[in-house]
Amino acid sequence: MTSGNGITEALLVLADGTTFEGEAIGAAPPTTLLDRAAETAGVPRKVEEEGWVATGEVVFNTVLTGYQEVITDPSYAGQVITFTYPHIGNYGVTAADDEARRPFCRGVIVRDLARRRSNWRSDGDLDAFLRHHAIPGIAGIDTRRLTRHLREMGAMPGAFGTADHAIVKQAAADEPGTDHTDLAARVTCAEPYTVGMGPRRVVAYDFGIKRSILTQLSEIATIEVVPASTSAAEVLARRPDGVFLSNGPGDPAAVGYASEAIGGLLGEVPVFGICLGHQLLCLALGGTTYKLPFGHHGGNHPVRRLETNTVEITSQNHNYCVGEGTLTTAEVSHINLNDGTIEGIRCRDVPAFSVQYHPEAGPGPHDARYLFGLFDDLMETHT
């Protein structure tokens, strides 16, 4: 429904029935989803009737800036991003800040969408950016209330849109979320490609790799990016100095083929993993993973580096974590100071290490960028 001031009213409904009122922004998704939701809810609907609904797993991110980098991070595949910072879009968007070829998130939730952009780098506004990439959104939401609810009840499926409340509620109930789903296969590259002209040769697995990661790796190596399903034999045939395991979305246990390939690389070549790559390395080492209540999504998570007893402020984006005490051939190198979860490991008998957070920090602080130097040192030692 469109109000007299031109605002299109919209609803956000979580899987537990909690409802929020707001206004539609961005693009309307295809009507096929709405048609299915209407049929399931038993609500008669004519084809020409206006209204739409979008679904996904609702999470929150606490960054103060960097909304474009967050939206274009492939690790958000299958999710609807709630920004806790109230004013989003004030400095517009620029193609230079895209972290991937397109956004893979299901939608965006904000308190206040800026009506005017102001920044010399800007070449467009956020609402137009969302429409261009067919990403729906909802604004005017009490994001403090929503965030408190997700912290108490955990990240959960939800739906939002301009359709009837019964349809949106049913769509939220039907949304399966991201559990047990191989989302890396949906965001990975179709064919290998090469980036950078550094002195070393690195093969980087694309589980949802960010461009800012490739920028950091390019300072030390020429990188051949390969699809998530690439076998260990195919990687070793390229004779790399090292292998990088990228970030990515979803449940690491659902990407068994990747952890199997990583197992075939351990001991053959130095390995460095981050985020999903960290989780997959730990699975290859015999560890286990579990889902956090509401994940770690933000640019200000404190992490202690045990070797030096120093604290890093880190950028994070993940829903799963490595189980404490499940690794026998690696030692914990980093700990999250908020909840004590494992943030990094170092193997004892093979040249491999990984961290749960994002050392490239796009967006976020640069405290952990030294890790790319450690990877370079590891390759130097084992060349």
Active centre residues (catalytic): 275, 358, 360
Cα dihedral 157→159→164→169 (10° resolution): 0
Q: Which residues pair with 283 in a beta bridge?
A: none
**Which residue in the block uniquely carries the two structure tokens 């990403």?**
135
**Which residue in the block uniquely carries the two structure tokens 């999903």?**
276
Residue burial 48-73, b: 16+ Cβ < 10 Å; e: rest: eeebbbbbbbbbbbbbeebbbbbbbb
Q: Are 345 and 354 in contact (CB under 8 A)?
A: yes
Written as six digits, the tokens of 373 are 């130097």
Based on the number of CB atoms within 10 Å of its own CB, is 357 exposed (0-12), middle (13-18) or buried (19 or more)? buried
Q: Are 103 and 131 in contact (CB under 8 A)?
A: no
Strands of 187-288 (E only): list them.
193-195, 200-206, 221-227, 242-245, 271-274
Cα dist from 117 to 41, 96, 140, whole Å? 40, 16, 18
**Which residue in the block uniquely carries the two structure tokens 């102001």?**
118
Cα dihedral 215→220→226→227 (10° resolution): -50
Spatial separation of the C-alpha atoms in residues 354 and 289, rounded to whole Å: 14
